[in-house]
Structure 1
Amino acid sequence: MGENTMNDRQHQIAKIIPFLQTGEYYFKKGLKAYRKRDIYKAKKHLQRAIQIQPEDSMFLCQLAVVLTELGEYTQSNRILLSVIEKVDSEMTECFYFMANNYAHLGLFQEAYKYANLYLEMEPDGEFIEDTEDLLELLSIESDVEEEEFELQDELIVKQEKAREYLENGELEQAIQLLKEIISLYPDFWSAYNNLALAYFYSGEVAKAAEMLEEVLDKNPGNLHALCNMLVFLYYQRKNKKVKELVGRLESIHPILVEHRYKLGATFGLVGRYDLAYKWLRHLHKQGFQGDETFYYWLSHSAYFTNRLDVAKSAWERVLEENPDKKGSEPWADGKTKNFNDILDRWLKGDYIEERLYGLYLLSKTNKSITKDDIDGLELHATLELEFAEYICQLNRSRKKKQSPDYIEQGYQVVELLFNQNKNNGSSTEGLYLTWFMIYDQAILRNYHVSNCSAWAAATEYMWRKHQLSHVSQKEMASKYNISQATITKYVKYVKELLQ
């Protein structure tokens, strides 16, 4: 008995020892990830190495290089300066890296200063050719007046400081500095947008909205202002305006990666996961290496559009960046409120097709729907009330009360559309809304909806044509197992009703 206990203890010790890792261990892991171009993983391992050995100049410099690749130029320079001032004054390559960072920031005066400092201290240094190339580039950029250079440098320094205030929650300081920037640079729209955020975070919602309206008045189409406006409207529960602005943003196709990310994250925040997934997954497929926020919204948008593998893979990246997020994944207990929020917005929609779609979503939840579940909903038309009654009857074991045929048929059409498109990997909410729009008009104008396959095929054909998809009536007829003559007939009906 005693011998077994001793063997068990030795086995436990043997298992524990490999996990007592050194800073060097994490540094090597960071370098390996960096060489594989997994920059975020490299950053995480290097930060861990520095936690263990905070004054290792090599670890610090490598982290600074990684931060530069991530576009975190200011943070990179803070680390490089601390290396020179506090750790190792002979690491003169830090001056080259700092010059490079300042050039990226547009602070050309500072870039000149540190590039020349590197040349003075290391005339035969490893980065001498790179530094000379950088100075040549800076000389091309310096065709503007020196005074204008200084103004640009001052602007970027102030903007970085304001952003730092915002990130740290120092809202009063951020507001004062951003007001100063705007007074000096009245066409610098980024400052207006950040000032609007500062006002909003501090509870001055009216001032925040006023600031964004000023931006959009002077610079119509400013995407950051439009996205911020959408977030403000969402938190104020101005649902009608939210829908209008979502419709406007849905038709925008930005070129810049930054704008695509902003659009995707904003759609995620307001619960339009279908649109969020469209943009974030597009970036992901193109090799975009996002931050924790990017993978957070990618995971949520994937989960709430039934792409579970993508959701779980993205969430692993979130946990790599921030292990404290464990337990807050979109499928965790209590997260169903996100779906309930989406459901609530459709059920309380301004248009009948939105409310009918909300009722359909309600029928897809894993519970029996009772009259209490739909009491309090603002259902106006007879069609909605009858559709709601039909939803209540679904999944009941007792005998159903008879609903009008056209109610059951309308539901069967949307079920057909759903089952034919649930695995195609793209957003189809617009397809279902289109059907309910057609359905409402069909019932008002006494069209028969008994041929469910024909209505489904014609609806999807028209919707896909509207999406500029290359689709033929023949393809749709085959998909829904109807004849060419039948789909031609029903496409004609759909066009009449949509008009």
Structure 2
Amino acid sequence: MKEQYDDIDEYIADLKSEIATNDKCANHYYNLGLAMLSKRDFVAAEEALLNAVRNSPHLAEAYVQLGGICLERGDLDGCLRYNEEAANCRAKFPIPWSNIAFVHLQRGQPDKAIAALHKALKWDPNFVQAKNALATAYFMKGEFKACEETCKEIIKQEPGFAPAWNNLALAYFEGQEYAKAAEAADKAQELGFEVPQGFLEELKPHR
């Protein structure tokens, strides 16, 4: 286990030595991929993770990590494809559905995002990041009340989740509840969220 190692390079060396004696073990390749990701060596991580799925074609977590590497280099198509593969391997795995939704949001396709997020939340109703992405999708569609309600649900569940406060501020603003919008934006900032400067400027006259 990684916890036994003080040094990531020692851990990587041991994994490589295990792989040298058994190059068919998908778990060793997967763990090597994660270790390389922790060093931000995306090329080596990708190679290890591809070896993991060659040896175990249904290793959904490896496809999710490969999707993350694609995202790192701005390849939304690759990110979507790998996460769809992960969801095909394990339909009840909420993370790839949330990642699929993220790609759709990046492409300005909130309806497709909402469909994927409903699947993520079906398998994990407390998945805060997925709920917040749902709030974002509602906002993109102009469904500000639905956005507001979703944000309130998140904040009830996890009061310190800053992105939900930011989304709530945007929803209040669109609903012309400016004092509440300013309060929610302040809370988002207090919790470390970088509220867009343009939005803060719009709030100024209402403070």
Instruction: Identify the TM-score tier after normalising by the shorter chain.
Output: 0.5 to 0.7
Alignment of 1:266 onto 2:133: yes
Q: Please show how residues 290-329 of structure 1 align to structure 2 within 5 Å.
A: 290-306=160-176, 308-322=178-192, 325=194, 328=197
**CA 1:250–1:190: 2 relative to 1, 3 Å:** same
**Structure 2 equivalent of residue 195 of structure 1:** 66
**Structure with more of its chain in helix, by fraction:** 2
The one-letter amino acid paired with 1:332 is E
3-state SS in 2 of match to 1:290: coil
The one-letter amino acid paired with 1:233 is H
3-state SS in 1 of match to 2:91: coil
Distance in 2 separating the partners of 1:205 and 1:185: 24
Distance in 1 separating the partners of 2:166 and 2:48: 31
- Where relative contact order (Cα < 8 A, 6+ residues apart) is larger, the structure is 2
* Shift, 1:228, TM fit: 2.0
Q: Which of 46, 54, 58 does residue 175 from structure 1 map onto? A: 46
Q: Is the 8 A contact 1:108 1:153 kept in 2?
A: no
Q: Is the 8 A contact 2:27 2:52 kept in 1?
A: no
The one-letter amino acid paired with 1:266 is A
Distance in 1 separating the partners of 2:147 and 2:132: 6
Alignment of 1:209 onto 2:76: no
Alignment of 1:277 onto 2:148: yes
* Shift, 1:158, TM fit: 5.1
- TM-score of the pair, normalised by structure 1: 0.29
**Structure 1 equivalent of residue 90 of structure 2:** 219
**Structure 2 equivalent of residue 438 of structure 1:** none
* Shift, 1:282, TM fit: 0.8
Q: How many residues are treated as equivalent by the alignment?
A: 180
**Structure 1 equivalent of residue 37 of structure 2:** 162
* Shift, 1:322, TM fit: 3.7
Q: Which structure 2 residue ranges, 5 or more long, are not aligned?
A: 7-25
Distance in 2 separating the partners of 1:164 and 1:296: 32
* Shift, 1:299, TM fit: 3.2
**CA 1:281–1:202: 2 relative to 1, 3 Å:** same
1:441-499: per-residue Cα shift (whole Å, max 9, x none)? xxxxxxxxxxxxxxxxxxxxxxxxxxxxxxxxxxxxxxxxxxxxxxxxxxxxxxxxxxx
1:366-413: per-residue Cα shift (whole Å, max 9, x none)? xxxxxxxxxxxxxxxxxxxxxxxxxxxxxxxxxxxxxxxxxxxxxxxx
Q: Which of 110, 115, 119 does residue 4 from structure 2 map onto? A: 110
* Shift, 1:263, TM fit: 2.0
**Structure 2 equivalent of residue 243 of structure 1:** 111
Q: Is the 8 A contact 2:60 2:87 kept in 1?
A: no
**Higher-Rg member (1/2):** 1
Q: Please show how residues 144-163 of structure 1 align to structure 2 within 5 Å.
A: 159=34, 162=37
Q: Which runs of 4+ in 1 moved over 6 A?
A: 151-154
The one-letter amino acid paired with 2:130 is L
**CA 1:226–1:283: 2 relative to 1, 3 Å:** same
RMSD, matched Cα: 4.2
- TM-score of the pair, normalised by structure 2: 0.59
3-state SS in 1 of match to 2:98: helix
The one-letter amino acid paired with 2:131 is G
3-state SS in 1 of match to 2:197: coil
